[in-house]
Structure 1
Amino acid sequence: HSAAGGWCLAWCLSPAAVFGQTGEVHRATQRHKGQPTMHVASAGSWPWQVSLQTTYHFCGGSLINSQWVLTAAHCLASFNGNPSRLTVYLGLQTIQGSNPNSVSRTVARIIVHASYNSETSDNDIALLQLSSAVTFTSYIKPVCLAAAGSTFYSNVSSWVTGWGNTASGVSLPSPGNLMEVQIPVVGNRQCNCNYGVGSITDNMMCAGLAAGGKDSCQGDSGGPMVSKQGGVWVQEGIVSYGFGCAQPNYPGVYTRVSQYQTWINSTSHNKHSNPGQFIKPIRNNVSYIRNPAGCIESLTSVSDYTAILILSKHLVTVERKTPF
């Protein structure tokens, strides 16, 4: 063992490091929100959230522009690149019953990341091209994406949304409202100790409570994990995998969106749609301007810990205590 590897292993062998009897971490094939403290989301509060359905809801996703949806690669394994059975629902509040603000689209293309590894869940990311563009409303809007170089520190408060199980094996009760749960980011070093050194790659990030009780769950896979940065909601993660639902010492594992800016832009850009809108990493001494999608771009230098946002032609100064 190298000195660095030995240090990491020693650091990990704490009460929080729980391994399977064979020395391997138990790994769920799909992300399972645990017995959790979760809440029904208000209609329109997460307007980028989408539901992927065949004859039923099976995964979530997020709208990143008028014609593209971001989701997890493992959600699409059974489709073999054929989108004919797949429908995307946008503006949805409940899985059952009437949804007056919802629209649906079939899928023109499924694009799974070429380096997706189903064994390790590395590069668990995919894009869906909708059959036609959607019109943005109060209930259907794209999310901003964390740009390359973004860092989300431990304990940054984040939100996960979806129509997944309320606990392992426990389906969401009728009418199947969109649910939300607030969880803190867990650093990759700690998360590697929970799941086994090397399990959590730089393409992943984790979130949850050491005590458990709050998590994503089966059926939430592919959905967004977001946090509010500089007054704008930014998607930093995609629900990927975990050990059970809301188990102590097993935070949820998410695909780290900021690692894929180049891939998302090159894949989703065509003459019919703009690529996803990325929030550049916020640094001190930088000001920002909102672009037409509502995301922030670097502009000029200003004083420490402030950012100037131009919102509907009005200048607003926002105090920024923690960069990301």
Structure 2
Amino acid sequence: MHWCTDECYKTTCTDKKTTIFLIFVALVIVGLLSFSIYLVTKPIKCEVDEIPEAANRMFKRFYKKVPRCRETSILLYPQVVAIVENDTEVHVCTGVIISKKWVLSVAHCLVLCADHSCNNLVIRAGSSHSNRGGEEYAIIHVEIHPQFNSITLKYDIGLLKVKNFNLNVRSIEIAKISSVPVRPHMHANILGWAPYNKVDVIYRDNSLKRINLTIESHIICQYRLKGGYNKFTLTHRMLCGTYPTRGGGCYTDAGGPLIIKGVVGGLAMFGQICYSCDYHMSVLIDVYYFRDFIKKFTKLKEINIDRIKIVH
């Protein structure tokens, strides 16, 4: 004899369906949270930049031809510094040391600095990570090029002054600036860190990265900028470099130096992540044309310059 009426059966069945649905929703939520934690904590996929040993000389030619994103060491590029938020350690931009007191970077990274001071930012030098290690230096003065235009990015260059860099360590060094313009077909390295947020700073290190790129002519650059950058015009003071998409995972870090044969030829302004073509592209400024600006505001009689050896 059944004591449960039809209405009772319907209620029981509905309760079971509701329970199964709630369990399913809970499993989906747990799965999404687990996946989110994985995405936050997993390391950025990037090969480690190692100097080939003598035993691997036969592979050097191939090594130079692979244009990939690679994690690298500050000991290989001691001129590079990270510009980070003072309180959060969040990475903002990259710069390059040009004297005992001065760092060169792009102007649009410094628009938040007011009245030639920049208390909200700090420079980290001598570390392969932008969020830890090395030495922190307070920024005591900022100079943005007087003709800088935040819309067209013309004259996108600026200077940051610190008290004194500790040049007695291997991981901090003054860069050499090119005494000649950068030419098309040159092969170079661009350095920088990935864009980071507060969560990233807590869960993982932000390692210095480099990528090989080839300098292109202005005609090719302007053509490849079509689309999202139709209104952007390259000037003769700007450069453009491209690299194959298998270098994906790298970012064009604003202020990242373009280094050719150990000499700084340019600074990165922005990069175009191109999913529908064969190349990514980075747009840079040519520091050769800003030597007078550097000398004027740093009061340096001579800046550390060197001639780039042109290698096609």
TM-score tier after normalising by the smaller chain length: 0.5 to 0.7
Question: Could you tell which deviates more after superposition, 201-210 or 65-74?
Answer: 201-210
Q: Percent identity?
A: 20
Q: What is the identity, as a one-letter code, of the residue corresponding to 1:87?
A: V
Q: How far 1:251 moved relative to its partner? A: 1.3
Correspondences of 1:217-256 after superposition (within 5 Å): 217=251, 220-228=253-261, 233-244=262-273, 248=277, 249=279, 251-256=281-286
| Aligned position for 1:112 | 144
Cα offsets for 1:128-185 (capped at 9, x unmatched): 11133432421100111112x424232x21111111149xxx9798222111111111
1:59 match: secondary structure: strand
Q: What is the identity, as a one-letter code, of the residue corresponding to 2:94?
A: G
In 2, distance between residues paired with 1:96 and 1:256? 28
Query: Given that residues 243 and 250 in structure 1 are in contact (C-alpha distance below 8 angstroms), is that contact kept between their aligned partners in structure 2?
Result: yes
Pick closer, same or farther for the CA change 1:280–1:179 going to 2, 3 Å: closer
Correspondences of 1:1-324 after superposition (within 5 Å): 37-54=68-85, 55=88, 56-80=90-114, 81-97=116-132, 99=133, 102-147=134-179, 149-154=180-185, 156-165=186-195, 174-196=204-226, 199-209=233-243, 213=247, 217=251, 220-228=253-261, 233-244=262-273, 248=277, 249=279, 251-270=281-300, 275-280=302-307, 322=310
Q: What is the identity, as a one-letter code, of the residue corresponding to 1:278?
A: I
Q: What is the identity, as a one-letter code, of the residue corresponding to 1:129?
A: K
Pick closer, same or farther for the CA change 1:163–1:256 going to 2, 3 Å: same
Instruction: Provide the aligned C-alpha RMSD in A.
Output: 3.0
More helix by share: 2
- Greater RCO structure (CA 8 Å; 6+ sep): 1
TM-score w.r.t. length of structure 1: 0.65
Query: Given that residues 184 and 208 in structure 1 are in contact (C-alpha distance below 8 angstroms), is that contact kept between their aligned partners in structure 2?
Result: yes
In 1, distance between residues paired with 2:264 and 2:95? 11
Q: Count residues with an aligned counterpart.
A: 237
Q: What is the identity, as a one-letter code, of the residue corresponding to 1:235?
A: V
Of structures 1 and 2, the larger Rg is shown by: 2
Pick closer, same or farther for the CA change 1:269–1:278 going to 2, 3 Å: same
Cα offsets for 1:72-94 (capped at 9, x unmatched): 10101112333122211110112
Q: How far 1:281 moved relative to its partner? A: 6.0
Runs of 5+ consecutive residues of structure 1 not aligned to the other structure:
1-32, 283-321
Query: Given that residues 128 and 208 in structure 2 are in contact (C-alpha distance below 8 angstroms), is that contact kept between their aligned partners in structure 1?
Result: yes
1:207 match: secondary structure: strand
Q: Post-superposition, which runs of at least 4 consecutive aligned residues in structure 1 deviate over 4 A?
A: 33-36, 170-173
In 2, distance between residues paired with 1:34 and 1:204? 30
TM-score w.r.t. length of structure 2: 0.67
Cα offsets for 1:86-142 (capped at 9, x unmatched): 211110112345x2xx12211111100111111111111100111334324211001
Q: How far 1:34 moved relative to its partner? A: 11
Q: How far 1:250 moved relative to its partner? A: 5.0
In 2, distance between residues paired with 1:134 and 1:180? 24
| Aligned position for 2:39 | none
